[in-house]
Chains A and B, each alone.
Chain A
Amino acid sequence: MKTLSVLLRIELLKTAKRRAFWVAVGIFAAIQTISTVDGVRTAQRYPNMTFALPDSWPDILFGASGPALFFAAVVMILLFAPEFSWRTGRQNVIDGLSKERLYAAKVIVLAGLVLLFLATPIVIGVGGTLFSPSEGGPEIIRSTDLSFLGGSALNLLLFGSAALMLSALVRSAGPALGVLFLYVIIEQAIGELIARGSETIRGVTEYFPFNVAQDLGENLVHYPEALAAQNAFRAERGLPPLEFLDVKVLAIAALAYTAIFLVIAFLSMRKRDL
C-alpha cells in the first residue's frame, strides 16, 4: 500500500508539472465543450431536438470513445517514452525504484488517463444538460448507455496499453507516436486487402486490435434499436446491413489485447537495460 502511494505521488508530480499534459487535456476539454454547447444551442433553437439524459448519452459518450482514444494514447506516450530519452526512468531506478515498480507506476498512469478521458466528456456533457431546455426521461442512464460506457472504457484501455507498450519498446516519444499511427493505417490497409479475399479470412480482420477498439467505440454496437433503424435505412437504399461482433466478444478481445500489450511492456522493462 505504501509503495502504491509512493508511485501515485511521484507520477502525479511528474504529470502535474508537465505542460504538454495540460495542453492535451485542455484541447480535449475544449472540443468536448464546443460539442456540448452545440448540443445545448440546437436544443434551444429546435424544440424537437433534445439534449437531455438519457437520450443524449450516445452524443456525450462519443467524446470518450472517439477523440479520447488518440488523446489518451498521445498523452500516455508523452508521459512514458521520455523517461527513457531523458534517462529519468533510469535515475528513478538508481534512486531505489525497481524496474518492475517503474512499470507499475506507468500502469497507474494508464488507469488514471482512462478515468480522465472517460470522465471529462461525461462531466462536461452532463453539465451541459443542466443548461438545456429539453426534458429528461424517467431514468438517468439505461443498460445500453452503461454498455457504451463500458465499451468506451475498454476502448481507452486497449489503445492506452498499446501506447504504453510502444513507449516501453521504442523508448522515444516521436517514433512511438509514429509507429502507433502507422499501425492504425497499416491495419486498415491490410483489412481492406483481406476484405477482397474469402469471407472466412475477412472475418479475421474484425479481431484486429484497432478494429476491436473502433467497434467498441461505435454506438450502433451498443444500441440495437439504432442499429436496426440504420439497417432499415440502408436496406431502403439497397445497401448491405451493418454487422458487428457481439459486445461480449469485443470486450473479451479488448481485454485480451490489453493483457498481451501490458505483458509485452512488462517483459521489455524487465529484460532490457535502462
Chain B
Amino acid sequence: MPIIQTHELTKRYGRRAAKSVLAVDQVSFAVEEGQVFGFLGPNGSGKTTTIGMLVGIINPTGGSFQLFGASDPKGLLAARSRVGATLETPNFYPYMSGRDNLRIAAAIKGVGRPRIEECLELVGLADRAKHRFATYSLGMKQRLALAATMLNDPELIILDEPANGLDPQGMREIREIIHILAGRGKTIFLSSHLLWEVERTCSHVAIVRKGRIVASGTVEEVVSGGTSVLLRAADEDALVAALEGYPEATSVRRSDDGVLVSLGSDDFAALNRYLAGQGIHLSHLAPHRQSLEDVFIDLTRGDFDSMTEIAS
C-alpha cells in the first residue's frame, strides 16, 4: 500500500472560468514506504498547493488522494497523526519561545515533554529554546520547524523547501538530518528546486510543471529518460541555428563545454549527416550523461525568468 497516493488531484482557484487559475492539474503519483521522494518544479508550479491538499490546509477542487490508505475525513485526520510536515517558511508564534512553540505542536500531536527536549537537542536548539521565536535567525527557524516535524516520530515526513534561505552549513545540516531520517526507514517527501540537493538525497522524483507532472520515477529512470549529446564546432552560432531546425532535437542549450542537445533518438550518425549537410563540420560529438538539472530544464523550459532562479 502506498503511503501517499493521489489520483487526478486538482486545485483551481477562482470560480469564473476566465479568471480562475489551475494551480494543480490532475496530478497522480504514488509514494511507497521508505522512499525519499523529490517533488521538483519551478516556483509557482503547484508543489506547495499539492502538499497543502495532502496536509489538509487546502481543499481540493477535483480528484482524490489517500494517506496511509485513508481518504475519508476521519481516516485522514488519524493518518495525519503519522505525518510530520513543514510548509514553505516556518510558522510559529513570534511572541513565544521555541520550547513553548513546540509545546503547542506536542499537545496537538499527543507527545510528552521529554520528546520536546530530544528534538531540540537533535536540531541543536536546546541552548536557545527559551528565547522568543521572533529573535531566531532563518536557519534556527528552519531547524525549529524540523524539530516540530519530528516530534511525533512520524512515519512520513513532508518537507517543503527545507533549505530555503539557509547558508551552505545550514543546507548541509538539513541534508544530514534527512539522511539520518531516511536511514531510519522514514518515508520522506521533499519538495525543492535545489536540483543537485534532490539528486543527492532522493531515490524517486516527480517533476511538476504548471500544475502537471511531466516526469516521474526513480532518479535514474528520469535522468536516463532521454538521449543527450555534447557538440562542438568552429562556428557555435551556426551550429545552434542548424540544430534548432533538426526535427529530432528536443532541446538545444549552450554550456561551457559546447552545445548540449537532447535528442528524440540515439542516431548520432544521422545528426552528423544532417549537420554536414548544413555545412557544419563537428570537432566534437560525444554522448552526454544528463544530470537531473538537464532534465529539469528541458522539461520546464520557459518557466523561469532567468537561470538565476534555478541557481538560487
Which A residues are closer than 8 A to B by beta carbons?
A: 6, 9-10, 13-14, 17-19, 86-88, 90-99, 271, 273-274
Interface of A is mostly: helix
Q: A93-B56, A94-B87, A98-B73 are in contact. List 15 more A-B contacts (CB 8 A).
A: A10-B107, A10-B108, A13-B100, A13-B107, A86-B92, A92-B108, A93-B57, A94-B56, A94-B57, A94-B85, A95-B104, A96-B83, A98-B56, A273-B52, A273-B59
Q: Which of B59, B83, B108, B110 has the most CB of A within 10 A?
A: B108
A99 to chain B, nearest CB (A): 7
Interface CB pairs A-B, < 8 A, 15:
A10-B104, A10-B108, A13-B96, A13-B100, A13-B107, A86-B91, A86-B92, A88-B92, A91-B105, A93-B56, A96-B109, A96-B152, A98-B77, A99-B56, A273-B58
Say whether B203 faces chain A, with CB atoms less than 8 Å apart. no
Within the complex, which residue of A17, A271, A273, A274 is in contact with B93, where a contact is CB–CB below 8 Å?
A: A17
Of the residues A13, A91, A99, contact of B91 by C-beta under 8 Å: A91
| A contact residues around B246 at 8 Å (CB) | none
User: What residue in chain B is nearest A20 (Cβ atoms)?
Assistant: B95
Contact residues in B for A98 (Cβ distance below 8 Å): 56, 73, 77
Smallest beta-carbon distance A107→chain B, Å: 17
State the CA gap A254–B95 with chains docked (Å).
35
Contact size range, B = 20 to 34
Residues 55-71 of B, flagged 1 when their CB comes within 8 A of A and 0 if not, give: 11111000000000000
Residues of chain B at the chain A interface (Cβ within 8 Å): 52, 55-59, 73, 77, 80-81, 83, 85-87, 89, 91-96, 100, 103-105, 107-110, 148, 152
Please state if B55 and A9 are interface contacts (CB–CB under 8 Å).
Answer: no
**Which of B58, B83, B100, B104 is close to A92, meaning CB atoms less than 8 Å apart?**
B104
The answer on a CB contact under 8 Å between B100 and A17 is yes
Closest 5 CB pairs of A and B: A87-B91, A274-B57, A91-B91, A273-B58, A95-B108
A13-B103, A13-B104, A88-B91 known; A273 and B57 CB under 8 Å?
A: yes
Residues on A with beta carbons closer than 8 Å to the beta carbon of B80: 96
Chain B proximity of A19: nearest CB distance (Å):
7
Cα A166 to Cα B228 in complex, Å, equals 57
